[in-house]
Chain A
């Protein structure tokens, strides 16, 4: 009875949060989206004088934009591939094998998270200086690779651990070899979660700004780095807006895939919640 009354009451708190968050979260992004499709928007008009795609053509005609897109995509691809090659076998080992020092090695991936990130990057840059890795592609690859380790090991470990061991044993009982078991039983079950981890590390690397800026700039120019220089030095507002919309595409794809994962609650637990 009491509960029915509560449910019928108008949820003012909810309406307040919904309106406040819409204004604070959605509105600024809508403004950027509007700028991207605006040909003329002069002060003090509240809405643009002329909509259009003029600046999309101009932005996409710029050589620096294309080289930054290529650079970002190739960096993210190389880093994700390398990360998958070294992390996935390690994740399998952590989940399924026993070896000396297993626990301490597993938690060693947390080491980087006990320190403020940019301070750590500066300390790494100090090492890179003597190795002549500053301003090189592989220097940026290395620094971004380290950033993916925790995700690419911890998430797949959880995936391998949640595979039903009885199914594997059943397959082995009917004569399947270890590789056959891995390919037909283990991988299909762990696959979707591992794919999510790979996607997360690709998107995370694509947006990684601080390492690329500290280690790579000005020779290695990724999209976020180009965006910083557009914000600082580019008088044409629309270039930044168009680039923002372009830059957001991978995040949108991640959003579609990761929604279920993130609202499941176990995600926050991974951050210590």
Chain B
């Protein structure tokens, strides 16, 4: 199964019959109705607000409220903090794994690769439960520490570190795969050539490998930022009640506080914070698909 076919999506057959359009109409209309339209409508309904008389006029009131409300700002900053820490940790953890997998062969490497990909097959809700059982109060780590006479850990559960642990765990597989795919572009010859002129391991990494995979690192970071900035399940289950990340914050504003306009304002703000990463990510996927 290849997501990157050998031929360009632009086919060679020129029949020009509109029956193709008919066949693709249903999913395309669904995208238009359920993705494009909600985004346009979200921006529209948060800047055209009805006043008491019911007439709509241009107003940035909901945005002004968000950026002057201390609680909203705290939520935004904990989201930025979590996203930054997770992206950094993921690169620091996954780059060594990917480097090892690129150059190692044999059964041990296959085992490491299998484990690194395995979290992809663990739904985040099971992961949340596992994190609570292991790192939560009186969890397995506490049991083990207690049995050798050590004091309890300060549990990350219900602190901002809870979501960080869960989100990093959850994102290891795709980060490793994206970096590994980037490392595939580093040829053995260039590495051997550098070794022959006496380059050490660090010089090799810094001058030969990193420049060639910088794009993959950016793709991995963009993917992580997009996924983590508005993550819901893990922050909702593992994180503190306040400040909360944008995902749980939007959910609570929408359902519990029954205030869709504020929730959609928060959504548009998350769009704005992620737009650069989103466009970069989509552009790389599209480029991969066409070449």
Using Cβ atoms and an 8 Å threshold, which residues of chain B touch A99? 16-21, 24
B161 at the interface (CB under 8 A from A): no
Please, what's the 1-or-0 string for A147-185, where 1 marks a CB less than 8 Å from any CB in chain B?
Answer: 001000111011101100000000000000000000000
A31→B108 contact, CB < 8 A: no
A138 at the interface (CB under 8 A from B): no
Residue in A25, A90, A120, A207 whose beta carbon sits within 8 Å of that of B125 in the complex: A207
A 177-196 contacts with B by CB, 8 A: 193, 196
A116→B274 contact, CB < 8 A: yes
Known: A31-B133, A103-B9. A114 touches B278 (CB 8 A): yes
Closest CB in chain B relative to A16 CB, distance in Å:
9
Using Cβ atoms and an 8 Å threshold, which residues of chain A touch B230? 116-119
A158→B3 contact, CB < 8 A: yes
A269→B216 contact, CB < 8 A: no
B115→A35 contact, CB < 8 A: no
Using Cβ atoms and an 8 Å threshold, which residues of chain A touch B186? none
B219 at the interface (CB under 8 A from A): yes
Which residue of chain B is the closest to A145 with respect to CB atoms?
Answer: B30
Closest CB in chain B relative to A222 CB, distance in Å:
10
A43→B115 contact, CB < 8 A: no
B 103-146 contacts with A by CB, 8 A: 104, 106, 108-109, 111-113, 115-134, 138, 140, 142-144, 146
A122→B263 contact, CB < 8 A: yes
A113→B281 contact, CB < 8 A: yes
A105→B28 contact, CB < 8 A: yes
Cα-based distance from A27 to B144 in the complex (angstroms): 13
A60 at the interface (CB under 8 A from B): no
Segment at the A interface, from B59-67, B68-76, B84-92, B250-258: B250-258
Using Cβ atoms and an 8 Å threshold, which residues of chain A touch B227? 116-117
Segment at the B interface, from A50-58, A63-71, A73-81, A258-266: A258-266
B27 at the interface (CB under 8 A from A): yes
Cα-based distance from A35 to B134 in the complex (angstroms): 11
Using Cβ atoms and an 8 Å threshold, which residues of chain B touch A110? 282, 285-286
B285→A270 contact, CB < 8 A: yes
Using Cβ atoms and an 8 Å threshold, which residues of chain B touch A109? 27, 31
A228→B236 contact, CB < 8 A: yes
Cα-based distance from A127 to B285 in the complex (angstroms): 29
Closest CB in chain B relative to A269 CB, distance in Å:
5
B5→A162 contact, CB < 8 A: yes
Cα-based distance from A45 to B4 in the complex (angstroms): 53
B7 at the interface (CB under 8 A from A): yes
Which residue of chain B is the closest to A210 with respect to CB atoms?
Answer: B232
Cα-based distance from A217 to B251 in the complex (angstroms): 11
B3→A28 contact, CB < 8 A: no
A122→B178 contact, CB < 8 A: no
B39 at the interface (CB under 8 A from A): yes
Interface centre among B36, B38, B147, B270 (most CB of A within 10 A): B38
B177→A271 contact, CB < 8 A: yes
Cα-based distance from A158 to B290 in the complex (angstroms): 12
A18→B38 contact, CB < 8 A: no
A213→B232 contact, CB < 8 A: yes
B 14-55 contacts with A by CB, 8 A: 14-21, 23-24, 26-28, 30-32, 34-39, 41-42, 45
A116→B229 contact, CB < 8 A: yes
Cα-based distance from A240 to B127 in the complex (angstroms): 12
Using Cβ atoms and an 8 Å threshold, which residues of chain A touch B172? 25
B247 at the interface (CB under 8 A from A): yes
B7→A44 contact, CB < 8 A: no
13 contacts between A and B (CB under 8 A): A11-B108, A98-B11, A98-B20, A116-B270, A119-B230, A119-B268, A126-B41, A158-B5, A162-B5, A207-B123, A247-B125, A264-B1, A269-B4
Residues of A at under 8 Å CB distance from B?
A: 11, 13-15, 17-18, 21-22, 24-29, 31-32, 35, 43-46, 86-87, 89-90, 92-103, 105-120, 122-127, 129, 142-143, 145-146, 149, 153-155, 157-159, 161-162, 193, 196-197, 207, 209-210, 213-214, 217, 224, 227-228, 231-232, 237, 240-241, 244, 247-248, 251-252, 254-255, 261-273
Known: A25-B119, A261-B1, A265-B180. 15 other contacts (CB 8 A): A14-B104, A28-B130, A46-B144, A93-B23, A103-B10, A109-B27, A120-B38, A126-B41, A161-B5, A231-B237, A262-B120, A269-B4, A269-B181, A271-B177, A273-B220
